Amino acid sequence: MMKKNKNIRYVLRRLLLIFIVLLLGFLALGIGLMIGYGILGKGQDPWAILSPAKWQELISKFTGN
């Protein structure tokens, strides 16, 4: 029974680690997009890159639709 508890805790710790890594990855992606668009780009509002309308505009430019 003791080994089963250790295995469950091990799996939960690994899942928590994966969740934290994914969360930090998405956070870094968002910050990178905001820096690239707002500071290095045209100097517009950095929050604008996170809006769905802006992404639709960008996808339309690349796909030609």
Read off the pTM: 0.70
Which pLDDT does position 11 carry in this prediction?
A: 95
Which pLDDT does position 27 carry in this prediction?
A: 96
3-state secondary structure of 65: coil
Question: pLDDT tens, position by position, for the chain (65 residues)?
Answer: 678 888 999 999 999 999 999 999 999 999 999 998 888 887 778 888 888 998 899 899 999 87
Domains: count for the chain = 1
CB of 34 closer than 8 Å to CB of 48:
no
Structure tokens of 6? Answer: 């250790």
Domain around 13 = 2-63
| Torsion sign, CA atoms 52, 42, 46, 39 | positive
CA distance 37 to 31: 10
Which pLDDT does position 28 carry in this prediction?
A: 97
Which pLDDT does position 37 carry in this prediction?
A: 86
